[in-house]
Structure 1
Amino acid sequence: MTLEEAYAEYYGSSASPRPFLHSLTTIVDATAEADAGVLGADPRYHFGNERFSESQEVLAGRWRRAMAAGTAGNQAATRHLLGLSLAAIQDFYSHTNWVELGNPTFNRDVGITGKDFFNVAGPRENTCSDCPEGADGEGSCRDNLLQEMVGGGTLTSGYSGEAIVNGQKVGKPRGVDKCSHGGPRDGSRVEGARGGINKDLPTACFSPHHHLHQQAAEMAVEASEYYLNLVRGSLGDASFLRLLALPPTSPAIVLVVDTTDSMGSQLEALRHSLARLAEGYDSLTHPPSQYILVPFNDPLYGPAIVSDRPHQLQQTLNQLRATGGGDEAEPVLSALSLALHHAPPQARLYLFTDATIKDPELYEAVLTLALEKDIMITPFITRPPHLGGIRGRFDLSEDMEEEEEEGNVPAEEEEEKVDEWSWGMPDLHNNTAGWNGAPNRNLRDPRAQMDRNRRQVDRSKRQVDSLSQYTQMAWRTGGQLVEATRDNLEEVTRILETGHYPQAVLWREGDIVSERRLQFPVDSLVGELTVALTGRLNTATLTSPSDTTFDLLAQTTTTDDKGFTVQVFTPYYVQVLISLQERGASEYGEWTLRVVPSVPPVNVLVTATTSLDLLPTLYTPDHSASQPSLQRVQGQAGIGRDTYLDLVLTGVDTAGLRRVEEGRLLGSSGSSSSIGSGGGGGGSQDSSILSLPTVSPRRNTYIRLPSRTLPSHPFSVAVEGVDGRGHRFRRESSGSGWESGDAHVSFPLGRDIWGPPGAQLRVPVTVYSSASFTTPVTLFLSAHDALGIPVTLDKQRVTLGRNESVTVVATVSLDPQMSPSTQPTTTLTVTATPTQGRTARSLAYVSATPRITDLTPPTCEVVSKTSCANHQTPDTCSILRWTADLRFTDYETGIFSVNSVPKYDFPLFNTGQQVVRMSYLASCCDPKATITVRDAANNIAVCDIDNGGVAEVSKLSTGAIAGISVGVIVLVILLALLALILLRRHRRSRKESVTEVRRRRRMSVE
């Protein structure tokens, strides 16, 4: 059974596995990241150079950070930390002699807090004999471990000549025969005892102990499964399943709401929408995974209200009042940053405002965070109803701009600006205001006129810039900019109430300025079709393969409207739903959408509920590391660097996919640049046809991209083919998240950063230039934190020539009030913007750790247990239940949680108790259990209980699996995940000046 077959068997063939596969991909990518840069060269992260205690300390510290992040709901950080730890746990079996010692099973102490290794070779103890065959890095070394090592059960690991610890190169000690790691990239293989002992791959040219690779891999799978079950037991089933994006849910709904005095109508409309969401919540088949609300005013923003149900958001909205605001610009991006930090991956974020952006310096950081977490941003911009576009506080009309440039401000606007300038600022010489600060509108000051003109021009520029940033943000993340007026707010907010189940993109096109006919295929795997149009339209019709035409600008239709529903209808936004299940198979085929803009531009988004979706990821080979790998591209692909596109087609196993015929890179305007019968777009200049290595991919397809000819503008990916019933299909990536550029930013010590509250963390950041630089280029650097924590850089700008790099230091000043228990993680974004070209960016996770750390794990004791004797067969095991009496103790921070695998509902207890007694009860058909107890410092203790095995267990059919508890599907998924991790790692191994101290961001109340 494959990964997706297991998913479909349990959740149904129509369920989209995309969120689940996205979570696994993130974890797998983190395992590969453990091999990159200094992190990959440090033996403490890989059980190398006999650094067993240090590796165990690294894993124990990361466990505490991961559990704190997971408990706080930061899934992105938890996945990253989990992937790094799984890499180290798997390395234990390929880099040490655990397998060679004849151990029959994996080591349960690896990565567990409070555990250590004792029978470890001393620093002057010989461990290996000379192996000339392995000296060239391509030979096998079968018996080079000393027999006294094997006989005595002494643990050792291989040394690497390229190892680096705390910035210093460390190699094999001289005068003693220590084992090398081995392989062609290990310089120590020719020193002392030549050869090596690594079991990374099943080939002698890379692993001297290749003959033990399969055995090491099987132990690594068992150990990883055990570790993941400990994570599950520590977090609990609900948090663990959410970590893996299970079960199928609709994406989280995130509301970022302007509460200034002009937003009263918007707040009222949102209250009504939330009330309807709360009323209909219990009837939803796939409710959103979370509901998040972040209000903002000026200068305050936050806090983030997070709930599993819409009711709490409804209560909070009912308490909010539109008031204040001062000037017309608001801390929009600060609020977005806070919301994105709290939002789970693949959420849907809706921004409600009528203001321009006061903090545009955060734009790149916000975009980076949204793209990293695959979050779609949809801004709702409210405008005055008497204007014909986004005007007033946005996008002033040409005649108004001309008047402002000449200093001729309209009377109403002029009066407003006089108030703003003179209120509370009495001029004692001219008596332009009374002593109480009230304005005297009859007096004119030429200095005031000059000041107004200057500010008016600044304001106009800010309006244009803000609109551009809203538009770009929406397009890059897969959303749409939606205009609204105060008289249609009720209708617009109904978007929140339409189905949010994961939607695959069939067609996406922006900047349509003239009549356009779009033709797109609808295949047999599509259940429902959604068409959304933004902008002013004269005509919008949709014609099906059965020649039925729907007028999308009519709220009612006179045609065959079976399965046709108008979900949202305003002058600026239309959204309709077509049920293919109701309309029947005759509607599978080519659909035609005809749009005629009234006021350009117009944007089109066609999505569908379907199991067949596209999950593309860009990778670049890391040839310089001791363990070559493919590293996921963050932000942008470097020009001149090899780039691989991993195309994952979800639902392939159950879809009966016939073939994939074509893949394309789409230009900045979306589908118009590649396919379509109506002309337009940029043609071959805006798209690249990809050469697919196979027309029938099982799941993953790696495509080498022409990196020197990648689009310089943001681009997305589309594939076309034929499904198992002969119908054509087309899928696009959800946003334009990638771009190519001349620079690259990375964190050489890894993206896992930590320190206690109040600490100043010095984080090295490396900026690279590409081979495409012909002359030196200046890059402007910036660094921001999602929670408004002060961040400074020791250089504001750097100048680099071709293939040059420089390392700067970002200083993160953790808030002394930052709580490691309630707010344990944040995100750090560093960007590098050239004078010409695209911004390079990278993101790291910062964890707040307790200043006084409880390093002592709790204890777990099985006081007594009953027997399953004479009830250990399939016929008798169900008759009897067994009981274990348990005692948990922790005399420092106290007991925090107790969980088990298989799941058992333990009684509630007060967190922080030093002694807790409980009982575990199970059927004799389930004679084994793992009890995990966690203290308040995230240390754990484990009780593994074995009450005897059932002699013969009848095999379950795949249909029966779907009827059992959640634990079964989790186990199947874990096994598939672990196999995927090992497979992916093996596949990759074959590849070859000072910045201003930033002000605390507009006083977040968190």
Structure 2
Amino acid sequence: MTSVLSITLLTLVLSGPLMAFVPIGGGASTHVSITGTALLQKVTETCRAVAEAAGHEFKPTGSSPEELVQACLGPTATGEVSGAKFHSALQEIYTQNGLVDRDFVNSAPHHFNSEAFLEGRGLIMEGIVAIKANIRRESFQAARETLGRVLHTLQDFYSHSNWVELGYTEPYINLIRPDLPLENLADVNTATCSDCASGTCPNSILPNILKEKKLTSGYMGIFSAAKPKGKCSHGGAADLTSTAEPRGGISKDERRSDNVALHNAAVNAATDASLQLLEDIRLAAGDNDFLRMMGIARSSIVCFVIDTTGSMSDDIKEAREVVYEIIDSKKGTQDEPSEYILVPFNDPHFGPLIKTTDSDTMKREISKLRASGGGDIPEMCLSGLQLALTGAPDSSHIYVFTDAQAKDIALKATIVSLIRSSKSTVSFFMTGPSRRSRRSLLASSFEDYKDLALASGGQAIQVSKSQLPQATDVILDTSTSALVTVLQRARNPGQKEIFPFMLDESLKNITIYITGQSITFTLTNPAGVSQNHNEASGKLGTIRTVGNLWRIRLHADNKSGTWQINIISNKPYTLKVTGQSTITFIYDFVESFGGPHPGYAVLSGRPQAGQPATLMLSVMGRKGPSSMTIGDVALVTVSGPETVRNSTTSDMGNGDILVTVDGVPEGEFVVILKGTDKVSGSEFQRQSTTQMSISKVNIKAVVDSSMEPGKTFYLPFSVMTKGSGGQYSISARNDKSFPMSNPASLTLTTGQYANSTITITPPADTPSGTDVTLTLEAKLSSGVDSNYVVLRFSVVNKITDFVPPLCEVVHVLADDCPQDVSQCEPFQWELAATLTDGNGTGIESVSLRQGSGNFTTTFLSDPIIQANYTASCCSQIVEFIAVDKVGNVGKCYHSIVRSAGPPALTVSLPLWLCLLVSAFVTRF
């Protein structure tokens, strides 16, 4: 049964934008609610298990996701804890779940329509294999995206087939176990339904089909009414086959007066099936990586991209010192990074990307960096940055150290696309020439780096090598939990301007950054108290300057309200105000789609010009979304002259908002949100960091399967413009440098799609689970307009081993255990079992799942492992998990609990049967 905590959490996240996806049920029962119920229950179970294993109590202080994350992270989660990454992970899964209705609307296997049972299970298994391989490679975003799609298909089985009409209440485990056959399927010549003229018959399945337990599903025709004779239809206005005899439909997508019981049964079975699949993934991944996939980890991530050419020895030393300081000063706190990423670059080499959750490993790796080579040659800076943007989690802070221009400046448009797609923030630390080299950072290159920093909401800091240690305080400021942006603006050319901004009571560690030359400013608080730029330590804060950077850290006792800063300069400058707070928001630009199950799809590229922009926006507060009131949401230009476009909003409930902006600003803009925090009663202001703009170009491309090492993958795509027709250049790049081919250009006619294909060939030695990011851009030859899509693929080896490891209990000694449990303390029992992997890929890990005794394993001979367990007679149940090298999972369960009846017969069972027996014992 779902816990009260899970139900309460569910109400916070499931009334959001994707309620429009209605493949299972109307009203409260949708794909989102079913997926959310399962995800939150499984996350809660996993958090509790992790907490108990670590020896601390799992006790959320409230029902909000923020409080769930804080409780899950344990006693070290002191300070500000943001639920944003957890929210984002949930939304990614929901979004991909819903996109199955747009991208595969006419695909029978994706929905288990038209009796496509084998093909549907094939999609599920392909997805499960990819998810497990992705998690092993720490490609968590790719795993989430595939998980959303797989859950949709799995859930559709229970709504679109006659499984519940046959009287089954448990999930059909064979759907996620291809070593078990799909049995008793109706063939194409077997009639399955009676005619239902009204279309609302309670159950139109033929009596002989019910009696013989034949499995069928409704046929779906979006473009044709044709179906085999006597077959059931899906039903509904969008299904043309529902008007052909036998009329009606067996879909349980929506709750109606004629199908309440069947609909509820389908929802319950789909929820249990989702839990079953999630448990399989959790066991294969392990609890910690399962939670990382779900975005539950300390939110701070350290990602460095470092030039390693000869003149960079001082910069490398400083980067090393900063990393050491972050690790040593934040260890054991909420601000301790959950992940460390390092990407070195030189010429012509860049990478590899080094990713670790272990701070000592990061120390060792950054200590290995040595400055060598170089000279006057520009470096592969943007190639290294591309690796970081695709390898780091979304919304990461990335720090680039260099003293040279980018040799690979042709990647600039690709980098901008990746920044927009990932919403990551990139800051550049650029040092001048040293005595070791005549290299210098050219002015044009500085402008390129500044453009990229501004596009991401980061900083472009230019200092001498001797000044670098004073500038890296920015990294310490931003490598922290719950970081939010209050305001960011840029002016080029510079001008005198007053910038107002609102600070609220929840904000801590408020810092103002200004980059530029020949700047003067005055900061004024709500009470009218001011501090000038030349007051290093004043009534409002502490001011430090180094190179082109001004850093103002406000005193902790400053009041909330409307502040302002008056900046005077005739040269370009940027302004940014940040702080720490759990009040934040996440957003996506979306577009609506029609079909049998209409909804909203997240845009991969830029919003379309000439029409309103639509956003889905989720707001998080200190005690969840109910602890705040949302005010204005607007699109604002960052660079002057400032243009504000207000919006109309539809409150979807519980912090989720549909935002429509009729007049989108010209040029680059960001999202700004204002509201009231009910906890403190103060007004708040938050701004997105990533700049966006509109386009008249549209690109369509869909990821429909995994790649296989050594085999060419074909990706069809289409490009259309509502602007000027003509020749558009086509640029396609992937972050793994896999061989690709694509057309150099396409000739477009206004309003018409032009179709083409990209081919990608992963090398034969590509590790299974590798995550590949493809950026595809179409640009008018004059450069006036362009757009892009960013697609994520998985490279997965073809798997033929779907048989889980087998368990045989060979020895149990429990005779000394007393029947009276109260007398158990002095006595022990022991168990020995052998584990084998039938198909020979080999057992990769064995771990204790239940039990508090001593558990050891011994390798006997390939592929046999012996497991030994000794425990107090007070601990009467043992369960351990075996995972083979391709992710198949098996359980071994044994209990010495004595019943009042005669002794039970002890038998050795295959591990899959052991799983079923243990599930039965647990449930009943």
TM over 0.5: yes
CA drift at 1:629: 2.4
* Superposition pairs of residues 501-520 of structure 1, within 5 angstroms: 501-511=481-491, 513-520=494-501
The equivalent position to 1:570 in structure 2, one of 543, 546, 559, is 546
Q: How far 1:719 moved relative to its partner?
A: 1.5
Is 1:889 matched with 2:859? no
8 Å CA contact 1:884, 1:921 repeated in 2: yes
**CA–CA separation in structure 2 for the residues paired with 1:710 and 1:875:** 72
- Which of 275, 279, 285 lines up with 1:225 in the alignment? 275
Per the TM alignment, residue 813 of structure 1 is displaced from its structure 2 partner at its CA by 1.9
Specify the code of the residue in structure 1 equivalent to 2:291: L
Aligned pairs for 1:933-944 within 5 A: 933-941=882-890
1:236-275 aligned at under 5 Å gives the runs 236-247=286-297, 249-275=298-324
Deviations 1:276-335 (A, max 9, x none): 334335354321111111111111111122222443333333333322225432222211
Does residue 819 (structure 1) correspond to residue 791 (structure 2)? The answer is: no
Equivalent residue number for residue 667 of structure 1: 637
Residue correspondence of structure 1 range 446-461 to structure 2 within 5 A: none
Aligned to 1:472: 451
Q: 1:699 aligns with which of 655, 668, 692?
A: 655
Aligned mates of 2:420, 2:149 — CA distance in 1:
21
* Residues 705-724 of structure 1 aligned to structure 2 (within 5 Å): 705-706=661-662, 709-724=663-678
Q: CA deviation digits over 1:327-360, x for unaligned, max 9?
A: 4322222111222232122221111112222223
Equivalences for residues 254-333 of structure 1 within 5 A: 254-333=303-382
Alpha carbons of structure 1 residues 523 and 802: separation in structure 2 relative to 1, 3 Å: same
Could you tell me which amino acid in structure 1 is paired with residue 420 of structure 2? Answer: L
Kept in 2, the 8 Å contact 1:895–1:913? The answer is: no
| CA displacement at 1:267 relative to structure 2 | 1.6
Cα distance change, pair 152–698 in 1 and its aligned pair in 2 (3 A): same
Q: What is the TM-score of this pair, normalised by structure 1?
A: 0.75
Does 1:849 find its partner at 2:793? no
SS at match of 1:637: coil
CA-CA distance at 1:648 after TM superposition? 0.8
| 1:754 and 2:714 are equivalent in the alignment | no
The 5 Å alignment of 1:367-766 reads 367-384=416-433, 392-395=440-443, 464=444, 466-498=445-477, 499-511=479-491, 513-551=494-532, 554-555=535-536, 557-559=537-539, 564=541, 569-578=545-554, 580=556, 583=557, 587-597=559-569, 600-623=571-594, 625-640=595-610, 643-651=613-621, 653-654=623-624, 657=627, 659-669=629-639, 681-683=640-642, 686-694=643-651, 697-706=653-662, 709-724=663-678, 725-736=680-691, 738-748=692-702, 750=703, 752-756=705-709, 758-766=710-718
**2:234 maps to amino acid:** H
Contact 1:828 1:845 in 2 (8 A): yes
Q: Deviations over 1:693-721 (max 9, x none)?
A: 35x95211112343xx4334332211112
Q: Which amino acid aligns with 2:125?
A: A
C-alpha distance in structure 2 between counterparts of 1:833 and 1:874, whole Å = 75
* SS of equivalent to 1:636: coil
Report what 1:676 is aligned to.
none
Aligned to 1:108: 173
Shift of 1:552: 5.4
Give the whole-Å Cα distance in 1 for the aligned partners of 2:150 and 2:827. Answer: 39
1:836, CA displacement in angstroms?
Answer: 4.6
Distance 1:529 1:358 in 2: 37
Residue of structure 2 in register with 1:790 after alignment = 739
Residue equivalent to 2:187: 122
Matched, 1:17 2:65: no
TM-score by length of 2: 0.81
**Is the contact made by 1:504 and 1:614 (CA closer than 8 Å) also made in structure 2?**
no
Counterpart residue type for residue 691 of structure 1: T
Change (3 A) 1:924 1:731: farther
Say if 1:638 and 1:263 are closer, same or farther in 2 by CA, change over 3 A.
same
Relative to structure 1, is the Cα distance of residues 227 and 278 closer, same or farther in structure 2, using a 3 angstrom cutoff?
Answer: same
Q: How many residues align?
A: 824
Looking at structure 1, the residues matched to 418 and 424 of structure 2 have their Cα atoms a distance apart, in angstroms, of: 8
Shift of 1:128: 0.9
Q: Is the 8 A contact 2:203 2:250 kept in 1?
A: no
| Counterpart in the other structure of 2:139 | 74
Amino acid at match of 2:9: T
Equivalent residue for 2:864, pick from 896, 899, 915: 915
Matched, 1:178 2:231: yes
Gaps of 5+ in 2: 1-7, 13-62, 72-78, 900-924
Residue 250 of structure 1 and its aligned partner are, at CA, apart by 3.5
* 2:21 is aligned with 1:40: no
- CA drift of 1:948 comes to 9.4
CA distance in 2, matches of 1:380, 1:693: 42
> Cα distance, 1:643 vs. partner?
4.8
The verdict on how the C-alpha distance between 1:946 and 1:475 changes in structure 2, with shifts beyond 3 A counting, is: farther
The one-character-per-residue Cα deviations of 1:575-609 (angstroms, maximum 9, x if unpaired) are 343364xx1xx712222223233x62111111221
Give deviations 1:599-637, integer Å, cap 9, x for gaps. Answer: 6211111122111101111211121x4432211111112
Correspondent of 1:830 among 776, 798, 814: 776
Q: Secondary structure at the match of 1:280?
A: helix
SS in 1 for 2:650: coil
| Partner AA of 1:719 in structure 2 | L
SS, match of residue 303 in structure 1: coil
Aligned to 2:93: 27
State the Cα deviation string for residues 43-86 of structure 1 (Å, max 9, x = none).
22222221212211221121111111111111111111111111
Identity %: 25
Residue 185 of structure 1 aligns to which amino acid in structure 2?
A
2: distance between equivalents of 1:894 and 1:620? 47
Number of the residue aligned with 2:15: none
Does structure 2 conserve the Cα–Cα contact (< 8 Å) formed by 1:541 and 1:552?
yes
Note if contact 2:860-2:866 (Cα within 8 Å) is conserved in structure 1.
no
Structure 1 match to 2:249: 196
Residues 259, 296 of structure 1: 8 Å contact kept: yes
User: Aligned Cα RMSD in Å?
Assistant: 3.7
2: CA distance between counterparts of 1:876 and 1:634?
64
Displacement of 1:801 in angstroms is 2.3
Query: C-alpha deviations, 1:768-788, integer Å up to 9, x for none?
Result: 33xx33x52432111111011
Kindly state the Cα deviation for residue 550 of structure 1 after the two structures are TM-superposed.
4.4
Q: Distance in 2 between matches of 1:923 and 1:829?
A: 58
Q: Does 1:2 align with 2:67?
A: no
Where does structure 1 lack aligned partners over 5 or more consecutive residues?
Answer: 135-139, 164-168, 396-463, 670-680, 951-1006
- The CA distance in 1 between the partners of 2:513 and 2:655, in whole Å, is 30
SS in 2 for 1:357: coil
Cα 1:928–1:369, aligned 2, differ >3 Å: closer, same or farther? farther
Distance in 2 (CA, whole Å) between partners of 1:840 and 1:722 is 36
1:144 aligns with 2:204: yes
Q: Distance in 1 between matches of 2:697 and 2:870?
A: 59
Structure 1 900/549 Cα, relative in aligned 2: closer, same or farther at 3 Å? farther
Residue of structure 2 in register with 1:768 after alignment: 720
Q: How far did residue 223 of structure 1 move? A: 2.0
Does the alignment pair 1:339 with 2:388?
yes
Q: 1:156 maps to what in 2?
A: 216
CA distance in 1, matches of 2:898, 2:666: 61
Could you tell me which amino acid in structure 1 is paired with residue 735 of structure 2?
A: A
On the 8 A contact 1:553/1:574 being kept in 2, the answer is no
Bigger relative contact order, structure 1 or 2 (CA pairs below 8 A, ≥6 apart): 1
Provide Cα deviations, 1:640-664, integer angstroms capped at 9, x if missing partner: 5665311211127547645322111
SS of 1:829 mapped into structure 2: strand
